[in-house]
Amino acid sequence: MEITGKTKIMFVLADPIDHVRASAVMNAYFGSIGDDLAVSPIHVLPGDLGHVVASIRLMRNVFGFGVTIPHKTCVTEHLDDMTEAARRIGAVNFVKRTAEGSLVGDNLDARGFIVSLAQHDVAVRDRKVLQVGAGGAGRATAFGLAEAGARELMIMNRDKEKARALAAAVAAHYPATKVSAGRAEARAFDLIVNTTSLGMKPDDPLPLDIEGVGPDATVSDIIVHPAVTRLLARAAAQGAKVIGGKPMLDAQMALVAGFIAR
C-alpha cells in the first residue's frame, strides 16, 4: 500500500511487541474496504505509556490506536472518555482520537470474542465456563460471557484477589450468572477459555491442567500468535473442539471501523 499525507494513521501499543498481529489484520481489512488507513505496532514500556498517549493527542493525522498487553487497564487513566462498555469492564483495547485531540476508549474484545464463538457454532447460553486470567482481556471476556448468558462462570487467576474482584464486578452486573473465583477441574466445564499470555512462548507452561477434557468441551485461547498454542494442541489431541485467537481479532475489524466513524 502507498502511504501518503492523506493516509489515516493508527497504532497498536504493546510490550512486548513481537506477538502483535492486529496491525496486519487491520491493514488487510481496511485495504479490502478501500479505506486509506495504515496501522503500525509501537513498542511502549509501561512507564512510558502516559508520555506516548500525550504525544498521540498532538498527531493530527492519527485517528486512533489499539491497546494490548499490558496496557489495557492502565491506559484508562490517560483518556478523556470511555464508552459505557469500556467503563463497565474497566479496560480498553481501542482508542479513537477525535479531530479536537480528545481520546475516547472502547472495549471490543468482549463482542469480538462472543462473535468468534458463534462463528464456530459454540453457544454460551446456559453453559458452564472456566476462564483463566483476570487481566485486561480477561475482564472483557468475563463480562462478555456473562452477557451472553453463561449459566456459571469460574475465574482462575494467579492473583486470587484480582480474580475475586473481577468475579464480584461481573456478578453485580449479571446476577443471573453464577460467578465465582477459585480453582476447579477443567473436565467439569463445557467451555474453557485462556485469556492469559501463557502460550505465546514455546516454553510457556500450560495455563491450566485439562486432563479429562474431551469431545464434549470447547477450549478457546485468545492468543493470536502462535495460531495453535500448546493448550490448543493438547485439547485437540484429546478430542476437544478448539478455537484460537485470530477469529476474535477478525471479528473486531468491522467494530473498529464503526467506532472510528461515529
Which residues are catalytic, by number? 72
Q: Give the other-Cβ count within 10 Å of 46's Cβ.
A: 10
Q: Specify the length of the chain in residues.
A: 262
Is the Cβ–Cβ distance between 61 and 101 less than 8 Å? no
CA distance 124 to 239: 20
Sheet hosting strand 152-156, strand order edge to edge: 178-181, 152-156, 128-132, 191-194, 218-221, 241-243
Q: Which residue has the cell 485531540?
A: 101
Nearest to 181 by CA among 150, 160, 209: 160
Where b means 16+ CB within 10 Å and e means fewer, 89-108 reads bbbbbbbbbeeeeebbbbbb
